Structure formats: C-alpha cells, structure tokens
C-alpha cells in the first residue's frame, strides 16, 4: 500500500498496482504502438520511402525518425497526462512518487530511460534493422520477447517496481481505492455551511481524528457514557460550552466546524 498525507495530515492509502494490471496496461499501450507501426509501414509504405534513399546512413536516419514516436510515447504520455499513458488511464493506474507526491518530469524521464533499456530496447533496434532491410527475423524476435521482458522486470522489482521505478523513486498505484470520508477527519459540509463553535481551531488534526473515531464508535455502540466523556474533554480543551439538545448533535457540529475552519484557513 502507498500512503499519502493530505494537507490535514490524513493518511489515505492507495493500493499498489499489481503485476497483472501493469502488464495489461503495458499490453494496451503495446497494441497502440504496434498499430502505429503497422499503419506507418503498410498504409503509408514507410519502408519504400526509406529504401528510396540510396545510402544506408540516410535510410537509418529516416527509420529512426519513423520509430521515434514509439520511443517517446511513454515519456510524452506520462508528462502530458500526469503519470498516465493511454493504457494506464483506461485501467485507472497512475505513476506517483513513493512518498505520495506527484511525480515530476525528471522522474518520468528516468523511468522512460530505463524502460527504453529494459523493455523497448530490443524492439527499437530490431525495428530499425527491419526498416533498413536487415534481418527481418530480429523484428519478429523483438515483438515476441518484449512482453516477456516486461513481465520478468516487473515480478522481480520491489513492490512491483521496475528498475526504473526504483531509481526514480516512483511506483504505480490504482486510483480505485477503498478510502471513503468516514476513514478520515474530513466531514461532508455544504458550501453555505455556517459554523457555530469558533474555538474548535484549538484542536489539532490528531485531536480531531481521535474525536471522530471515538464519536463514531460510541455512536455505533450507543455508548452514551463515552459520548459524555468526549463532550466534557472537548469543552475542557477548547473552552466551548455545549449549547445543543444532546451530545450527538454537539459532537457532530464540532467535527463539521473543525473541517470548515481548517479547509478555509
């Protein structure tokens, strides 16, 4: 699991993307790249264009130019889509720093460099060789071994990290996580909400977390003695006096007021 601290020091956990999801995302991206190469060489007859050049240097330069989108696809996608490729976006995966922060372009560049070595290197060079008219078998080998290489790298990485992830300090998480508002100190409040108890700002985030956890547990178990103790403790710490009909309403307002002030500070 990857834990992310919110601005209110609330830990939200994301599930690490398992190997199966990462391979599936890679497979979707791989299909896109193969489709691009197919259209390039079969629809636009890029091979004939390459062969129109007489010298091998020009042919290699043209082949490299045609293959360049394949090489840059992951880097450009993750920068523009903030940690996602098309495959990752479809499967709701995202690249994040292991400390929970958004990855920077330099992190994506590191991942891309090692991806090129780990995964796309064989495909890249074999495609150039094929485009230049050399060793067609190499291209077939590249297409076959690239997914296998991806699998080996993923399963051998720490926390489902590729070597590039380890160097960049990144990992891939699933954006579908089980967190909901009841697991944090956050409260659902209306945009026009008017607070009642201004002195709730004397509480800390940790205080608010403990209050909410205790309040929810006591409310669920109908433990009114705990609710009374909790209300008295809040009054003691903040100087607030309960003006509500009962402790349930008071504690609920305290949590909402705390969220109102901390979200608008």
Where does residue 96 fall: left (phi above 0), alpha (psi -120 to 50 degrees), or beta otherwise? beta
* Boundary residue ending a domain (127, 151, 174): 174
How many domains in the chain?
A: 2
Query: What digits encode the pLDDT tens for the residues 149-193?
Result: 555 655 555 566 777 788 888 988 887 654 444 445 555 677 778
Same domain for 157 and 250? no
Same domain for 27 and 150? yes
Q: Average pLDDT for residues 135-150, to the nearest whole number?
A: 54
Same domain for 170 and 221? no
Same domain for 38 and 118? yes
Same domain for 249 and 216? yes
Domain that holds residue 100: 2-174
Same domain for 82 and 202? no
The residue assigned the tokens 């078998």 is 137
pLDDT, the chain, mean: 78
In the chain, what percentage of residues exceed pLDDT 90? 18
Q: Average pLDDT for residues 39-66, to the nearest whole number?
A: 84
pLDDT at 265 over 80: no
- pLDDT of the residue at 204: 82
- pLDDT of the residue at 107: 93
Same domain for 22 and 67? yes
- pLDDT of the residue at 8: 45
Q: How many CB atoms lie within 10 A of CB 22?
A: 23
pLDDT at 129 over 80: no
* Boundary residue ending a domain (106, 139, 174): 174
Same domain for 117 and 21? yes
Torsion angle (degrees, nearest 10) of CA 46, 47, 49, 54: 160
* Boundary residue ending a domain (174, 195, 224): 174
């Amino acid at each position: 699991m990857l834990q992310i601290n919110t601005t209110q020091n609330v830990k939200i956990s994301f599930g690490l993307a398992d190997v199966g999801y990462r391979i599936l995302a890679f497979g979707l991206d791989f299909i896109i790249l193969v489709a691009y190469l197919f259209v390039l060489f079969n629809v636009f007859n890029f091979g004939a264009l390459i062969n129109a050049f007489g010298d091998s240097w020009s042919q290699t330069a043209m082949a490299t130019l045609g293959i360049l989108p394949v090489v840059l696809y992951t880097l450009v996608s993750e920068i523009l889509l903030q940690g996602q490729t098309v495959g990752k976006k479809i499967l709701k995966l995202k690249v994040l720093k292991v400390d929970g922060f958004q990855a920077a372009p330099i992190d994506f560049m590191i991942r891309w460099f090692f991806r090129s070595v780990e995964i796309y290197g064989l495909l890249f060079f074999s495609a150039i060789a094929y485009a230049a008219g050399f060793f067609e078998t190499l291209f077939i080998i590249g297409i076959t071994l690239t997914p296998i290489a991806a699998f080996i790298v993923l399963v051998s990485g720490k926390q489902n990290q590729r070597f590039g992830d380890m160097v960049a300090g990144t990992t891939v998480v699933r954006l579908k996580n089980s967190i909901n508002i009841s697991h944090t100190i956050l409260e659902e409040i209306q945009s026009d909400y008017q607070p009642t108890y201004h002195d709730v700002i004397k509480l800390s985030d940790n205080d608010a977390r403990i209050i909410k956890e205790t309040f929810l547990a006591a409310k669920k178990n109908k433990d009114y003695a705990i609710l009374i103790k909790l209300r008295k403790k809040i009054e003691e710490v903040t100087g607030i006096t309960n003006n509500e009909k009962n402790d349930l309403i008071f504690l609920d307002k305290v949590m909402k007021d705390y969220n109102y002030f901390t979200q608008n500070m």
